[in-house]
């Protein structure tokens, strides 16, 4: 399993698209901070690093969801185009190793991208924007609590995306279904015959971590929902992949 994950990451990191992806992860937060610094110089206002991070925290959960589609394509995309899954299985690789190895590689790739973006956001912010030492601990606490709530939800969405890639094997259909499910899933969950059905709708928790403070209870829900989606769609995807004849 570890060798397979290493091989998948090695292959993904050698792609030109990966260099572009990580370039964007470094540049976009820097440009965002630079925009605030430009306003400070030209409009005689005083945006601080705390203001910048507060602004970023509103969009981070949803930008992360969009980037998951890019990550899935970078790690898995050539398998969809070249249809080389059969080669891995024919070489003696277990289907469980292939399925869960792909998911693990996508998660690790995502964590690397997240680390690059956070490092750029904080590094350029500390250089370009004014900040107060006494505000820094609380500011970092808010940011990392948000990320701690988003992380299991993103992993859950990666599990859904991995399931779709193994089942559909068409990148356009996968992107379309992913976007449709994200925005229209409320209608399905609202009809479930359970108490508070929207509590089980994963995107609703992405909105929750933006609108309200990320308390211990909210974190517990985020991790519970994220792990539930990860386990359910990983099991379902593996069973479909295990029973399918590869051509």
Domain extent at residue 45: 2-243
Q: What is the pLDDT of residue 42?
A: 76
Question: 111: how many CB neighbours lie within 10 A of its CB?
Answer: 13
Tens of pLDDT, residue by residue over 8-19, are 899 889 888 999
Confirm if 50 and 125 have CB atoms less than 8 A apart: no
Q: What is the pLDDT of residue 148?
A: 95
Q: What is the pLDDT of residue 113?
A: 95
Distance in angstroms (rounded) separating the CA atoms of residues 25 and 69: 15
Q: What is the pLDDT of residue 80?
A: 60
Whether 92 shows a pLDDT value over 80: the answer reads: no
Sequence-distant (6+) residues with CB within 8 A of 39 are: 45, 47
Whether 247 shows a pLDDT value over 70: the answer reads: no
Percent of the chain with pLDDT over 70: 85
Least-confidence region, from 7-21, 111-125, 167-181, 228-242: 167-181
The pair of three-digit structure tokens given for residue 151, joined into one six-digit string: 């992380």
Distance in angstroms (rounded) separating the CA atoms of residues 149 and 183: 20
Distance in angstroms (rounded) separating the CA atoms of residues 208 and 151: 14
164 by Cβ neighbours in 10 Å (0-12 / 13-18 / 19+) ranks as: buried
Confirm if 18 and 106 have CB atoms less than 8 A apart: no
Q: What is the pLDDT of residue 114?
A: 95
CA–CA–CA angle 229, 227, 13 (5° rounding): 85
Domain count, the chain: 1
């Amino acid at each position: 399993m570890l060798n397979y994950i290493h091989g998948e990451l090695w292959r993904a990191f050698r792609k030109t698209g990966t260099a572009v992806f990580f370039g964007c992860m470094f540049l976009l937060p820097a440009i965002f901070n630079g925009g605030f610094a430009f306003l400070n110089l030209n409009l005689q206002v005083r945006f601080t690093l705390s203001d910048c991070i507060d602004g970023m925290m509103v969009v981070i959960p949803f930008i992360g969801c969009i980037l998951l589609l890019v990550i899935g394509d970078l790690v898995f995309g050539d398998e969809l185009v070249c249809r080389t899954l059969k080669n891995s299985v024919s070489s003696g690789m277990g289907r469980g190793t292939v399925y869960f190895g792909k998911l693990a590689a996508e998660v690790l790739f995502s964590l690397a991208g997240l680390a690059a973006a956070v490092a750029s956001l904080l590094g350029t912010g500390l250089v370009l924007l004014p900040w107060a030492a006494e505000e820094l601990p609380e500011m970092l606490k808010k940011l990392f609590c948000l990320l701690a709530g988003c992380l299991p939800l993103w992993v859950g969405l990666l599990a859904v995306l991995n399931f779709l890639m193994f089942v559909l094997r068409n990148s356009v259909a996968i992107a379309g279904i992913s976007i449709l499910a994200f925005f229209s899933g409320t209608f399905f969950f609202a009809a479930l015959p359970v108490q508070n059905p929207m509590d089980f709708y994963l995107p609703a928790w992405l909105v929750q971590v933006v609108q309200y403070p990320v308390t211990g209870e909210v974190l517990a829900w985020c991790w519970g929902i994220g792990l539930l989606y990860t386990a359910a769609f990983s099991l379902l995807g593996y069973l479909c992949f295990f029973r399918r004849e590869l051509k």
